[in-house]
Structure 1
Amino acid sequence: MSSPTHFLDTNTCIYIINKKPPQVAEVFGRHQIGDVALSSVTVAELAFGAAKSVRKGTRETLEEFLLDLMILPFDEAAAWMYGDLRARLQATGQTIGPLDLQIAAHALSAGVTLVTHNTGEFARVSGLKLENWFPE
């Protein structure tokens, strides 16, 4: 399996799972297995969403979605990157949500592009490569 080139953010995963909008799932389908991965932080956010969902089968649908995806653990390199990013953003008053900050730090430390519809918030993170598969 190759090294991933992209991390999916939580909102992108939800668009793919629900096939709404369908264009996001279509772009995802054009990538090779192994090119797209998830941060364990994203999986935690998705697991929380599934746990609080009232829709039957949400957890099973999520587990099926995760089967072919590489899930990378939030490691020491990501932790150090998180500390640096948080200090830098806090010093400039440009903070972002704590889990989004962890996902951004993990993407930076892994050297991958983050696929998100939340580009406004993530754009505050200098050096983070972003893609938005959501149709404009």
Structure 2
Amino acid sequence: MKYMLDTNICVYLIKKKPENVLITLHSNMGDGVAISAITLAELMHGVEASAYPERNALALNQFLSITDILPFDHEAAAEYGKICAALRRRGIPIGAMDMLIAAHAKAKGLIVVTNNVREFERVEGLEVENWVSENKPSDL
């Protein structure tokens, strides 16, 4: 396993837009792609809050068939505590769900794939890639 997809990337993949995100996903499937149970919770909330929950549930289930869902465990919870405290000490907190996803990825040694690079880059030692932009941070 190499990559953990953030919620916004999952939404792009479910909607099949932008196309370069789909292309990059397919080229990295051999490396292993997963989502956090936290991301799944956000996606399920989006389905239930949408105007078309049945249609969106089908689209979500289709997406879930191609990725692994990692349970949020004790190791991830411990990492969350460290990240939350460190960001608050530095006066640069990020959203609670993003901190949970960052902690989960960091605990598992995975690269977070997001279009919300500005938030995730605040987490020291976390690798981040943006498959939406043409140049991923690792290519710059």
Match of 2:61 in 1: 63
- 1:20 is displaced (CA, Å) by 1.2
| Counterparts of 1:135 and 1:103, CA distance in 2 | 21
Q: Between Structure 1 and Structure 2, which shows a larger proportion of helix residues?
A: 2
4+ residue stretches of structure 1 with deviation over 3 A?
none
Given the two structures, how large is their TM-score scaled by the length of structure 2? 0.91
Partner Cα distance (1:76, 1:33) in 2: 27
Aligned to 2:80: 82
The one-letter code sitting in structure 1 at the alignment partner of 2:28 is: H
Q: How far did residue 31 of structure 1 move? A: 2.1
Tell me, yes or no, if structure 1 residue 12 matches structure 2 residue 9: yes
**Is 1:31 matched up with 2:28?**
yes
Q: CA RMSD in A?
A: 1.2
Q: TM-score, normalised by structure 1?
A: 0.94
Structure 1: 5+ residue stretches without partners: none
Q: Report the CA distance shift for 1:122/1:62 in structure 2 as closer, same or farther (over 3 A).
A: same
Report percent identity of matched pairs. Answer: 43
Cα 1:116–1:7 change in 2 (3 A) is: same
**1:135 is matched with which residue: 117, 133, 136?**
133
Structure 2, unmatched stretches of 5+, are: 135-140
